[in-house]
Amino acid sequence: MGNVKRSRADLYATVLEVIRRYPEGGRITRISYGVGVPVDRLKTMVENLYSFGLVTRATEGNEVYYGVTPRGLEFLDTYRKMKGFLATFGEGS
Amino acid sequence: MVDVNVPKGASVTLGRVEGQLDVANGAKIRAADRNLVVVTGEARFGGNAKVECDLECESLRVEHSGKMGYADLLVLGNLTVHGRLDVSNSIEVEGAMNAEEVDVGGRVRARSVSCKRMRVGGIAEISESLKAESVEVGGKIEARGVLDVKDLQVGGKAEIGGGAITGTINVGGKFESSSKLDFGELQIYGVGSLASGSKGRRIIASGKLTAKGALECDQIEIAGIASVSGDCKAIRVQVKGKLDVAGSLITSELLDVYGVTEVNNAFSGGNLRVSGKFSAEKALVTNDAELYGAVETQKGLKAKSILVRSGTRCTGPIIGDTVEVGGSGPGFSAFAWGQRLRLQVGTSQVEDVYASRLLIGAGSRARRIFAETVDLGSGCDVDEVTYVSELKMADDVKVASPVKKVDKLKEPPL
């Protein structure tokens, strides 16, 4: 979203933001359209988030659904607050 | 059951479809009459397609074509979906888009949108009006027209026009409203900007908030930096960071300053509590003012009762029924973001004080005192004392000029 290169933390936050829009669980393709990142790249990121304990993974038939854990929501909250501080200091938004 | 099937790459003319419409990738649809195609069941698009007229259907589903950079479904007219609109990647509607529920994985672009719930994973661009009960966008929303929304949740950036968002606005990154907005609760974590004349119930800003003109809001909580370029009117304001008001600030109940508040014109309010830095042209407080830190006014601070805590420096006259200078300072819990931690030396400094009952605590410094009754504690240093009925003074009080007892005090400046 935008022309500025997103940092890894920005990308992880965006992925979590998109996943949290699907309380019933989000499929990787849907998340990929939301984040604006190809599925293959996104898969690695979501798997990383899963290993950090920030997202949940549930399988239903052939489909894998992802959700955000309380720790993921905590990360998002902290990320937003930190961005708020940086905006206050005049460093990015 | 599929009632009408449009093959891959075909251009077809349709009127009313009884049942389900299934459209393959790369198809074009035109209307047989009245520039409208009606589908009584579900319209399903298996890839990218173009509808060159209005489309009305019971429900709509669009699968992704795999072609990036293009809208999967482009509707040149209006789109009306009585039930759910489900687009896996993107949709573009040149006219109005009406649906019960909108669920778009990637991007939605429309002239206007009216729905109960809109959920967009990536980007929503609406050039005119947006009417919805709930709007959730993972990335960015750009809706420069009039909004009539209950709740708006945006992960990244929200650039909106004006109108009303009566519930909660929660924006993770940047929020900007270009016209007057009536809002319920506005939660900003990053950078926020409100147009002049905006009104709301509550603002929680932990980043940087700018109001480009007058702002009216019942409760304002500033944890970052906020600036209001006009007048600001509220019931309660709490400042843990910094608040700048270019006009006047009115808080009918309480202004609570832990950080810094600078008001270019007058402040008026029910109660004032400062544990940081406060400045205004003048401050008119109906009830109590409790001051700790640095307080500066050009024309004075007036309250029913004023408590100037130890270690406070007060510039400008203070006027009250009861004034106490040099009461003990707040505990550590009152120290907050934006406030320097410093060693308490216990002395308070005030300039001219006008009061009915005045108590100056030990070791405090005052310029001129005008009061009915005066009580000066040990080690006080005062330039001038004028009183009416009673004066109590410790032995080691220093008064630079002879003490005056008068029948009537001179009028205070406020």
Of all helices (H) and strands (E), which one includes residue B191? strand B191-195
DSSP tag of B330? P
Categorise residue B74: left if φ over 0, alpha if ψ from -120 to 50, beta otherwise. beta
**Is-contact B161 B149, C-beta < 8 A?**
no
The C-alpha of A70 sits at a distance from chain B's nearest C-alpha, in angstroms, of 17
Q: Return the ∠ at Cα A86 (arms to A81 and A89), rounded to 5°.
A: 130
Residue A82 lies in a domain: yes
Q: How far apart are the first and last CA of chain A?
A: 13
Closest chain B C-alpha to A51 CA, distance in angstroms: 22
* pLDDT per residue rounded down to tens, chain B (414 residues): 569 999 999 999 999 999 999 999 999 999 998 899 999 999 999 988 999 999 999 999 998 876 655 678 999 999 999 999 999 889 999 999 999 999 998 899 999 999 999 999 899 999 999 999 999 998 899 999 999 999 999 988 899 999 999 999 998 888 999 999 999 999 988 889 999 999 999 999 888 999 999 999 999 999 889 999 999 999 999 999 999 999 999 999 999 999 999 999 999 999 999 999 999 999 999 999 999 999 999 999 999 999 999 999 999 999 999 999 986 654 443 444 444 433 344 689 999 999 999 999 989 999 999 999 999 999 999 999 999 999 999 999 999 999 999 999 999 999
Q: If you count them, how many residues does chain B have?
A: 414
Q: Which of B156, B206, B208 sits opposite A81 (nearest CB)?
A: B206
Q: Does B139 touch chain A (CB under 8 A)?
A: yes
Contact B180, B164 (CB under 8 A): no
| Domain, as residue range, for A81 | 8-88
**Closest Cα in chain A to B119:** A21
**Distance, CA of B150 to CA of A47 (rounded, Å):** 35
- The beta-carbon neighbor of A14 closest among B64, B106, B155 is B155
User: How does residue A29 score in pLDDT terms, banded at 50, 70 and 90?
Assistant: confident
ipTM of the predicted structure? 0.79
B206 CB-near residues (< 8 Å, 6+ apart): A80, A81, A84, A85, B188, B189, B223, B224
Q: Any idea what the CATH number is for the domain that residue A72 is in?
A: 1.10.10.10
- Considering only CB atoms, A88 lies closest to which of B89, B136, B207, namely B207
> Whole-angstrom Cα distance, residue B127 to residue B110?
7
More confident residue, A4 or B288: B288
With respect to residue A58, please indicate whether it lies within any of the assigned structural domains. Answer: yes
Residue B68 Cα to chain centre, angstroms: 37
- Asked if B119's CB is within 8 angstroms of A21's CB, the reply is yes
User: Which chain A residues contact residue B173 at CB under 8 A?
Assistant: 83, 93
Q: Do B208 and A14 touch (CB under 8 A)?
A: no
Q: What residues of chain B lie within 8 A of the CB of A84, using their CB?
A: 188-190, 206-208, 223-224
Give the pLDDT of residue B282: 97
Those residues with Cβ within 8 angstroms of residue B280's Cβ, 6 or more apart along the chain or in another chain? B249, B262, B263, B264, B265, B266, B267, B296, B297, B301
Q: Is A14 a member of any domain?
A: yes
Residue-level pLDDT at A91: 66
Q: Is residue A42 part of a domain?
A: yes
Closest CA to B314 of B341, B292, B296: B296
Rounded-to-integer distance, Cα B76 and Cα B196, Å: 36
* Cβ(B384)–Cβ(B368) below 8 Å: yes
Q: How many structural domains compose chain A? A: 1
Residue-level pLDDT at B181:
97
Closest by CA position to B5, among listed B45, B38, B53:
B45
Q: Is residue A3 part of a domain?
A: no
For residue B94, what are its two tokens? 């040149």
- Tell me the sheet residues that pair with B62: B45, B87
pLDDT for B241: 92
What does the alpha-carbon distance between residue B60 and residue B212 come to, in Å, rounded to a whole number?
A: 41
Q: How far apart are CA A51 and CA A59, in angstroms?
A: 16
The pLDDT of residue A88 is above 80: no
Per-residue pLDDT, B1? 58
Query: Contact B80/B104 with Cβ under 8 angstroms?
Result: no
Instruction: Identify whether A1 is part of a domain.
Output: no
pLDDT of amino acid B342:
38
What are the residues of chain A with a beta carbon less than 8 Å away from any beta carbon of chain B?
1-2, 13-14, 17-18, 20-21, 29-36, 76, 80-81, 83-85, 87-88, 93
Indicate whether A66 belongs to any domain: yes
Question: Is the full-model pTM beyond 0.95?
Answer: no
SS (H, E, C) chain A: CCCCCCCHHHHHHHHHHHHHCCCCCEEHHHHHHHHCCCHHHHHHHHHHHHHCCCEEEEEECCEEEEEECHHHHHHHHHHHHHHHHHHHCCCCC
Say which of A36, A85, A87 has its CB closest to residue B122: A36
The answer to whether the CB atoms of A17 and B123 lie below 8 A apart is no
- Where are the alpha helices (H) located in B287-407, listed in sequence order? none
* Residue B119, min C-alpha distance to chain A (Å): 7
Given pLDDT bands bounded at 50, 70 and 90, which one contains residue A81? confident
- Asked whether residue A93 is assigned to any structural domain, the reply reads no
